[in-house]
Amino acid sequence: MSTLTSVARVAEERRPTFLPELFGPTRMLVAENMVYAMMDSLSPLDYAGGHWDFYEQGGRPLFMVPTSKARYRTACSGNGWQGEVSAEAAGIIATLFAFSHLSFHHAADQLVEGYARLYEFAGDHPEAAEIFQAID
């Protein structure tokens, strides 16, 4: 369950449309794997794959959340940040990184808009400080 009331977990029957809406139909498989790879890199001690929940805000896709643990020890090799965050914050971080990396290879407004929407959402998250330190 989300820590914020402004987001909702995507219902099982709507999961098939989430990734194409979030990343685009031609990028959805690459993007999904990118999120998983980002999480594996960010939390190698705690993340070992598994099911992910999808979250939306106002009917628009927003981010993915791993469900195998409640909290993840996280380290960002690019900036040296280390910390422990909730599964939701870890998912936000991994999804933001995936958006960023994909935007270097795919010129798509959908990626830019998705990143901006999630970045704005992250600013109001209870773990905003950790999220922004991780992605800085």
- The count of residues in the chain is 136
Does 1 map to a domain? no
Neighbours of 70 (CB within 10 A): 8
The CATH number for 55's domain is 3.30.70.3580
Strands 52-57 and 71-75: unpaired
- What is the three-class DSSP state of 127? coil
Interval 81-118: pLDDT, tens: 999 999 999 999 999 999 998 988 877 888 889 999 99
Compute CA distances 60 → 55, 71, 115, whole Å.
9, 25, 13
Per the structure block, which two tokens stand in for 119?
């970045």
Does 79 map to a domain? yes
Interval 109-120: pLDDT, tens: 888 899 999 999
- Looking at the structure of the chain, the number of domains it has is 1
The span from the CA of 132 to the CA of 110, in Å, is 22
**Range(s) of the domain holding residue 77:** 8-135
